[in-house]
């Protein structure tokens, strides 16, 4: 199983990376938990989550090949 | 869904006034249009805590942004019976006084063009996965919030 | 009344896209502006009773129109704290696909620029002593009504 | 006494003139009456009246040198 995590804006700075790969993660809650373990500063971050470019609002099961994006508050324009 | 191909909206760096003038000029063949509404975002020389804004550096989740814009486009075009709709947003560095956002709506009558343009501006500012990093004249920077 | 000199808003014939592009370009020194809103009126190829519009010929009570625009300018600039406001209207013949009206508002933030532009469009259409004579492709003509 | 009458748009066509001069006319009601006598088609016209570039809404006394404008419905833009 392979999950790609894309990270943008201030979150990419916080995690010092714009892309991470995860092997064993069953859903988005678990993914966030693993990220918080690995990056303690991530606990206080504000972000929305997209799975395969669609915004999600609750815990979402992840499948092999899914792309999860962590999106800090938008500030375009 | 009209199934039109996904258009790119992102332009590297500032959007040039010549590009905007050319875009307006090309609409003289759109003879169903009687009204055009244009919104331009320009980098403002803001002063914040004794610093002055020098530029904004934009990044985006491009694939997702293009999918979202495409869905929004189709809804707005149908809702307001637009003749056409063009959207451009800068990526990378845009300096003070330069243009970072260009929205262009056309319709037979003014109300549709004006209303649609306003709705697209709000959508771009609130719903698009784009981020601006404000760069100050002392090279300090911080993330923009809308 | 700020007492600024009365500006001419009338342009003979169509307003060229190059003129509009140049006007946008000149605003890069207006670094207090963060948002520009532009409205363009274009001659629509309307079909009316089996005739097709070919052009509109505009005339105006110029002295009165300039006085009225000047008063409106001062009110709108103060009301919306605009950075600047430009208004141009064609006189004489403007053909299908050409631009006859160009309104350009600038402000620090988008709401002021967009609201002001919309208000100016309504004012121009309803309050300005300007008349359009619609010329059809068969050379027949009639007076436009807004 | 001299009053200049400027006529625009469809009214200028109706009166076959864009400017007229009047010598003896005390107020706008009298001016309109004289115009209707001279141009019967003018009776059914729709217009607003400006004196010295200011719109008026009722009968208005005219003075030497005043400019009266007859303005059909505006159709700019």
CB proximity C79 to B under 8 Å: no
Q: Could you say which residues of chain A have pLDDT below 70? A: none
Residues 13-72 of chain A with CB under 8 A from chain B are 50, 53, 69, 71-72
**Measured between alpha carbons, how far is C112 from B118 in angstroms, rounded to an integer?**
12
What's the CA angle centered on A5, arms B93 and A67, to 5 degrees? 105
Is the reported ipTM for this assembly greater than 0.85? yes
Question: What six digits make up the tokens of B18?
Answer: 């010549």
Q: Using the beta-carbon criterion (under 8 Å), do C96 and B31 form an inter-chain contact? A: yes
Q: What is the pLDDT of residues C16-63, one digit of tens each?
A: 999 999 999 999 999 999 999 999 999 999 998 889 999 999 999 999
The H-or-E segment that residue B119 falls in is: helix B110-127
A48-54 long-range Cβ contacts below 8 angstroms, 24+ apart: A50/B61, A50/B64, A50/B129, A53/B61, A53/B63, A53/B64, A53/B67
Dist CA C109 CA C66 (whole Å)? 28
Once rounded to an integer, what is the mean pLDDT over residues D43-58?
96
Quote the DSSP letter at residue B5.
Answer: P
**Interatomic CA distance for residues C116 and C65, integer angstroms:** 19
* R_g (Cα) of chain D, nearest Å: 12
Q: Tell if the CB–CB gap between C20 and B24 is shorter than 8 Å.
A: yes
Give residue-wise pLDDT tens across range C81-115: 999 999 999 999 999 999 999 999 999 999 999 99
Q: Give residue C2's pLDDT.
A: 52
Q: Where are the alpha helices (DSSP H) in D6-62?
A: 9-14, 28-38
**Measured between alpha carbons, how far is B33 from B82 in angstroms, rounded to an integer?**
8
CA distance C56 to chain D (A): 10
* Per-residue pLDDT at A66: 98
Output the tens digit of pLDDT for each of chain B's 146 residues. Answer: 455 678 899 999 999 999 999 999 999 999 999 999 999 999 999 998 889 999 999 999 999 999 999 999 999 999 999 999 999 999 999 999 999 999 999 999 999 999 999 999 999 999 999 999 999 999 899 999 88
Chains contacting D (3 or more CB pairs within 8 Å): C
Subunits next to C (3 or more Cβ pairs <8 Å) are B, D
Helix (H, G, I), strand (E, B) or coil at A46: coil
B146 interfaces chain C, CB cutoff of 8 Å = no
Confidence of residue C4 (pLDDT cuts 50, 70, 90): low
Is the backbone of residue C139 left (phi > 0), alpha (psi -120 to 50) or beta? left
pLDDT of B4 reads 65
How many helical (H) and strand (E) elements, i.e. helices and strands, does chain C have? 3, 8
What CA–CA distance (Å, rounded) separates A45 from B58?
20
Chains D/A: 3 or more C-beta pairs closer than 8 A?
Answer: no
pLDDT for residue B3: 59
- Dig out the tokens for C91 from the structure: 């006189």
Q: Tokens standing for A19? A: 């892309």
pLDDT at residue C1 is higher than 50: no
Nearest CB to B131 within list A50, A69, A75? A75
Q: What is the pLDDT of residue C5?
A: 73
D70 neighbors C131 (Cβ within 8 angstroms): no
Work out how many CB contacts closer than 8 A connect C with D.
65
Query: Quick one: tokens of C11?
Result: 């342009």
Whether residue C135 has pLDDT greater than 50 = yes
Distance from CA of B82 to the nearest CA of A (A): 22
Judging contacts by C-beta atoms under 8 Å, the chain B residues touching residue A6 are: 61
Q: Which residues of C touch D53 (CB under 8 A)?
A: 61, 63-64, 67
8 Å CB contact between B89 and B100: yes
Residue with tokens 């343009």: B117
């Amino acid at each position: 199983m392979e999950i790609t995590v894309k990270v943008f804006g201030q979150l990419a700075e916080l995690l010092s990376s714009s892309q991470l790969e995860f092997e064993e993660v069953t859903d988005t809650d678990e993914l966030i938990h693993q990220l918080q373990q690995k990056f303690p500063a991530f606990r206080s971050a504000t972000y929305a989550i997209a799975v395969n470019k669609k915004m999600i609002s609750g815990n979402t099961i992840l499948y092999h090949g899914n792309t999860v994006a962590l999106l800090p508050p938008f500030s375009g324009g | 869904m009209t199934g039109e191909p996904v258009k790119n909206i992102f332009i590297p760096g500032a959007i040039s006034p010549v590009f905007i003038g050319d875009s307006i000029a090309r609409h003289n063949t759109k003879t169903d249009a009687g009204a055009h509404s244009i919104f331009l975002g320009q980098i403002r020389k803001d002063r914040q805590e004794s610093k002055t804004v020098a530029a904004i550096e934009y990044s985006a989740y491009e694939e997702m942004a293009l999918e979202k814009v495409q869905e929004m486009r189709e809804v707005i075009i149908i809702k307001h019976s637009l003749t056409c709709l063009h959207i451009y947003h800068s990526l990378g560095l845009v300096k003070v006084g330069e243009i970072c956002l260009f929205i262009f709506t056309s319709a037979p009558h003014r109300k549709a063009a004006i209303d649609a343009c306003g709705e697209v501006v709000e959508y771009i500012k609130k719903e698009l996965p784009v981020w601006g990093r404000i760069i100050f004249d002392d090279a300090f920077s911080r993330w923009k919030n809308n």
